[in-house]
Amino acid sequence: MAFHCKWRLFFGFVAIFIASGFQLAIPLLIGSAVDSALSLEGAALDISNGMVASAIDSTTDVFGEGSNPAKTALIIIAVFLFIASVGRGLAAMFQNYMGESIGQMIGYELRMLYYEKLQRLSFSYHAGVHTGDLITRGIIDVEGVRMFVQTALLRTVFLIVLIGAGMYLILSLDLTLGLISLSFVPFVAWRATAARLKLRSNWYQLQERLSALTKVMDENLGGIRVVRAFASQDHEMKKFDEASNETLILANTQVGIRASNISLMGVAFMLAMTGVLWYGGLQVVDGALNLGELTQFLAFMSILLQPVRQIGMLVNGFARGSVTGSRLFSVLDLIPEIQDKPDAKDLDITSGILEFHNVSFGYEGEHTLEGISFKAEPGHTVGLVGPPGSGKSTIAHLVPRFYDPIEGHITIDGQDLRDITLDSLRQAVGVVEQDTFLFTASIEHNVAYGDPWAPDDRVEEASKYAQLGDYIERLPGGYDTMIGERGVSLSGGQRQRLSIARSLMLKPQLIVFDDSTAAIDAATEQRIRAALTDLTKDRATIIISHRLSSLMHADEILFIEEGKIVERGSHDELLAQGGHYNDLYELQIRPDERDEQVSGSVDGEVGAS
């Protein structure tokens, strides 16, 4: 993914080589400066840097033969040292900028890929994972991968170039002293490997605890009214404190691993520097090594001190990046269960006839629907009724292909839903869910969610069909009125009516009402039904409800029990059968009729008396 920013990556690598070159030149220049300072005669000056020697010759031409070569060398070396320091600083700044830029770009792309994947994953996946965990992966885990690219990737290349070139230079000057100066490398490599394994395991646990922490907060804020209603603030605080404390323990363990690792690496480095100073000092005393060369070794090691300390950060970055990357890509690599076939075509509606052909469906191997067959034609209303958990909502979810049947098939005008594109199908099918979700936006934006550029008259028309227009017009802000998160500023009935308006605004060819009027009073429901009569006369309609008054007018009513159709027919036909439907009618409708009769007889007796 970093190669999507190939030019930034290229210039970042160029900056790395430039910064490394300038940084490696600094020890050589310092060593030459020491030799120049100790030299009393120009003839005794031994300068290993050819660039400095040629600069001295040029200066001699300028100042004349009487100038002191040692003093001139110091001036030239100081100038070159200044240039090297400034050049290294500018190159390092550019390298860091490129690393940050690439990291931010990759973070952006990962967030978009992750969010797009969540939009396509099947309902069965979302049903088995907590929202808080998905949020953690989309924010904290993406940040972990981004930081790995920003702080670890380019910095690792920089350290490899710096240490590799430095090893060549110092080993070429003095093999024994070079080996002593690099004696810390095997220890650092061992500690880095061991620390990475520990940090990776700890990072995985820490990310899981952060997910759990997000879950607790998400549930608390989502159910804040329930928490307040039951005065459970103390219980929620205790639960959050426990989750937060577990996260803190893991974070402290993380800090301990990093701190001890960096300290041990620092100790190994300082021991190697001590060895260089001791052995090199003896060599200088014996005349086998001049002071400038020893200074080069010490200066080189001083330059390595900060990178060695950064190795601990790099190890932590690699450990975190591998963990967060694995968690993130475990989602990105998922293949949606419900997706378009390679040769899928757009839905071609000629009549708008929906048919279920011996459809069976189940969750995790357990059948919730079995042998479901029925037809819904334009101008034809099918009602579904039955006890909770009988499979009614599952039928509603199969129509827009939120799930696929495990047996049988579903067609619209003879076209199998699995052979047509999801976009064209869901544009043709409007589902009004029983669990209404509204966005924190204006009423107009919520109604026009399926078509944000719809004209105002279509939004108003759909709202009036849903018997919500008069209420909206009485609001001070009208259709621009903001509603709270999840529509908390509206009543349950108003939320359901807004959800109905949102679906009607798209004018779908098939409409499924999944217990979408449960929170609406009977009188308003009757007005909605009357308003929809004209709208649905050329559309197939499915109504799912526990309330018989909502579907008694249906052309065909299916009584669902344990995933099977046990009774079917019109309202009168089902009453005549005297089965489950009749029992439900006696339970729901007859008591109201008897109450009215009793009330009427009592009123008559009172009037007679």
52-84 per-position pLDDT tens digit: 455 555 555 544 444 566 677 777 878 888 888
For residue 35, report the phi and psi dihedrals to the nearest 5 degrees: -65, -40
Tokens 């969010």 belong to 115
Buried b (16+ CB within 10 A) or exposed e, 321-338: bbbbbebbbebeeeeeeb
How does pLDDT run across 450-477, given as a tens digit for each residue? 888 888 888 888 888 888 888 888 888 8
pLDDT band at 374 (very low <50, low <70, confident <90, very high): very high
Q: What is the pLDDT of residue 593?
A: 53
Among 140-144, 465-469, 482-486, which stretch is predicted with the lowest mean pLDDT? 482-486
Cα separation, 174 vs 181, in Å, equals 10
Contact between 511 and 539 under an 8 Å Cβ cutoff? The reply is: yes
Give the amino acid at 181: S
Containing 564, the helix (H) or strand (E) segment is strand 564-569
As a whole-number percent, the residues of the chain with pLDDT over 90 amount to 13
The residues, any chain, with a CB within 8 Å of residue 454's CB and separated by 6 or more, are 448, 505
How does pLDDT run across 103-128, given as a tens digit for each residue? 888 888 899 999 999 888 888 888 78
Q: What is the pLDDT of residue 604?
A: 44
As a whole-number percent, the residues of the chain with pLDDT over 70 amount to 87
Tokens 């001083």 belong to 302
Q: What is the pLDDT of residue 58?
A: 53
What is the three-state SS of 479-548? HHCECCHHHCCCCHHHHHHHHHHHHHCCCCCEEEEECCCCCCCHHHHHHHHHHHHHHCCCCEEEEECCCH
- Of 468, 430, 425, give the one whose Cα is nearest residue 450: 430
Average pLDDT over residues 167-174: 78
Cα separation, 40 vs 42, in Å, equals 7
DSSP states along 20-45: HHHHHHHHHHHHHHHHHHH-SSGGG-
- Of 8, 12, 318, give the one whose Cα is nearest residue 144: 318
Q: What is the pLDDT of residue 43?
A: 39
Q: What is the pLDDT of residue 127?
A: 78
How does pLDDT run across 376-424, given as a tens digit for each residue? 999 889 999 988 888 888 899 999 999 899 999 999 999 999 999 999 9
Give the amino acid at 313: M
- With a cut of 60, say whether residue 425 has pLDDT above it: yes
Structure tokens at 260: 């001890």
The residues, any chain, with a CB within 8 Å of residue 534's CB and separated by 6 or more, are none
Helix (H, G, I), strand (E, B) or coil at 136: helix
- With a cut of 70, say whether residue 564 has pLDDT above it: yes
- With a cut of 90, say whether residue 594 has pLDDT above it: no
Helix (H, G, I), strand (E, B) or coil at 226: helix
The residues, any chain, with a CB within 8 Å of residue 262's CB and separated by 6 or more, are 309, 311, 312
Cα separation, 515 vs 67, in Å, equals 100
Q: What is the pLDDT of residue 42?
A: 43
How does pLDDT run across 352-373, given as a tens digit for each residue? 899 999 999 987 667 789 999 9
Virtual torsion, Cα 420, 421, 424, 430, nearest 10 deg: 80
**CATH number of 2-332: 3.40.640.10, 1.20.1560.10, 3.30.70.100, 3.30.1330.40?**
1.20.1560.10
Q: What is the pLDDT of residue 269?
A: 82
Structure tokens at 483: 């509603």
Specify the length of the chain in residues: 609
Q: What is the pLDDT of residue 485?
A: 67
Cα separation, 255 vs 244, in Å, equals 16
Q: Where are the domains of the chain?
A: 2-332, 354-577, 581-609
pLDDT band at 488 (very low <50, low <70, confident <90, very high): low
Average pLDDT over residues 200-210: 83
Q: What is the pLDDT of residue 557?
A: 93
Cα separation, 85 vs 299, in Å, equals 14
Classify domain 354-577 by CATH number.
3.40.50.300
> Helix 291-332 to helix 69-120 angle, to the nearest 10 degrees?
10
CA atoms within 13 A on the CB side of 92: 14
Q: What is the pLDDT of residue 54?
A: 56
Give the amino acid at 307: P
Q: What is the pLDDT of residue 155?
A: 76
Cα separation, 301 vs 184, in Å, equals 11
Q: Which residue has the higher pLDDT, 72 or 332?
A: 332
Cα separation, 502 vs 598, in Å, equals 42
- With a cut of 80, say whether residue 9 has pLDDT above it: no
Structure tokens at 433: 């869910």
As to burial, measured by CB atoms within 10 angstroms (0-12 exposed, 13-18 middle, 19+ buried), residue 112 is exposed
How does pLDDT run across 492-545, given as a tens digit for each residue? 788 888 888 888 888 888 999 888 777 677 777 788 877 777 777 888 999 998
pLDDT band at 288 (very low <50, low <70, confident <90, very high): confident
Contact between 500 and 524 under an 8 Å Cβ cutoff? The reply is: no
Among 46-50, 180-184, 209-213, 308-312, which stretch is predicted with the lowest mean pLDDT? 46-50
Structure tokens at 165: 């070139």
Contact between 542 and 513 under an 8 Å Cβ cutoff? The reply is: yes
Contact between 379 and 458 under an 8 Å Cβ cutoff? The reply is: no
Contact between 235 and 147 under an 8 Å Cβ cutoff? The reply is: no
Among 23-27, 240-244, 449-453, 568-572, which stretch is predicted with the lowest mean pLDDT? 23-27
Q: What is the pLDDT of residue 487?
A: 65
For residue 542, report the phi and psi dihedrals to the nearest 5 degrees: -120, 130
Averaged pLDDT of the chain: 81
pLDDT band at 213 (very low <50, low <70, confident <90, very high): confident
Tokens 């990759």 belong to 106
Q: What is the pLDDT of residue 99?
A: 79
Q: Which residue has the higher pLDDT, 314 or 328?
A: 328
What residues pair up with 420 in beta bridges, in sequence order? 345
Cα separation, 534 vs 193, in Å, equals 73
DSSP 8-state class, residue 137: I
Tokens 């009423």 belong to 443
Average pLDDT over residues 325-350: 88
pLDDT band at 591 (very low <50, low <70, confident <90, very high): low
Tokens 């934006």 belong to 445
Counting DSSP H helices and E strands in the chain, the numbers are: 22, 10
Q: What is the pLDDT of residue 4?
A: 63
CB-CB neighbours of 53 under 10 Å? 17
